[in-house]
Amino acid sequence: MKIGVLGSGNMGGQIGRLWAEAGHEVVFSSRNPKKLSSLIENLKNAKAGTVSEAIEFADTILLAINYWTIEEIMDRLRITPKVIIDLTNPYKWTEEGSLQRVIPENISGAETLQNQLKKSTIIKAFSSHQANTLKMHHSLPKIGVLYTCDGESGKSVSEKLIEDAGFEPIYYGNLSRSKDIELFGKFSNKIMTAEEARNEIKK
C-alpha cells in the first residue's frame, strides 16, 4: 500500500517503520522533513516529505499528530478522500500538566473526524496502546489491536495493516464504539494478547 504518515513521532515513526519493513511504500512527514533522515535511513521503501507530499502520495494515511493540531492540516485532508487510520486522542496538555479533553464527552475523536471528513473512511486503531507496546510487535502470542470502522473497505485495510505491523487485528465494531479504544476508554493502556482481548470484548 502507499501510506502517508502524518506525525512521525513516538507513534507514527514506529508504526510507519513496521509497515515499511513489511514492504509497504511509506512517506513519513514532518514540518521539517530533514529531521527524519535517521528514521528513513536503512528503510528501503520509505521517504521523508512535507505533510502535503505525504497526503498527495498516499491511499492510506496514518494520522499520528497531536489532536489539537489536526485543524491545521484539515484543508489538505479534505482535498481527496482517503482511508485514514486515526490513532490520535482528543486531549491537550494544560499549563498545570494535566490532560484536558477537547471535544464533548458523548462523542469520540474518530467520529468527530469522520464528521469533518465525510468522504474519507476513518478507522480507529492503536490509540489505546502506549508507544512502548509497539515494541512488542511479532511477540508470541500476538498482541491484539482493536479497531473500529464503518463499512467493509476500512475493515480489509485494517486487517492487513495491523497484521503487517506484527499484531493481531480484532474488529471491535462501528466507529460509534471508538471511545472505548481511545485514551481513558475501557481498553486504554491495556496490553492484551489477541485471545485475552476477544474474551474481554465478550464480557
Interacting residue ranges for ligand NAP, rule: CB under 6 A: 7-12, 30-32, 35, 51, 64-67, 69, 72-73, 87-89, 127, 129-131
Nearer to ligand NAP, 168 or 203 (CB): 168
Nearer to ligand NAP, 33 or 153 (CB): 33
The least CB distance from residue 8 to ligand NAP, in Å, is 5
Nearer to ligand NAP, 97 or 203 (CB): 97
Nearer to ligand NAP, 23 or 65 (CB): 65
Integer Cα distance of 115 and 94 in angstroms: 26
Residue with cell 471491535: 172
For residue 162, the 8-state DSSP code is H
Contacts of 29 by beta carbon, 8 Å cutoff, 6+ apart: 4, 5, 6, 7, 8, 48, 49, 50, 51, 53, 54, 55
The least CB distance from residue 101 to ligand NAP, in Å, is 12
What would the grid cell of residue 111 be? 467520529
* Cis previous bond, 81, omega within 30: no
Residue 21 sits at the vertex; the CA angle it makes with 20 and 24, to the nearest 5 degrees, is 40
The least CB distance from residue 86 to ligand NAP, in Å, is 9
The least CB distance from residue 152 to ligand NAP, in Å, is 26
What would the grid cell of residue 150 be? 464503518
Position closest to ligand NAP via CB: 9
The least CB distance from residue 182 to ligand NAP, in Å, is 8
Nearer to ligand NAP, 83 or 87 (CB): 87
Dihedral sign from CA coordinates of 124, 181, 115, 74: negative
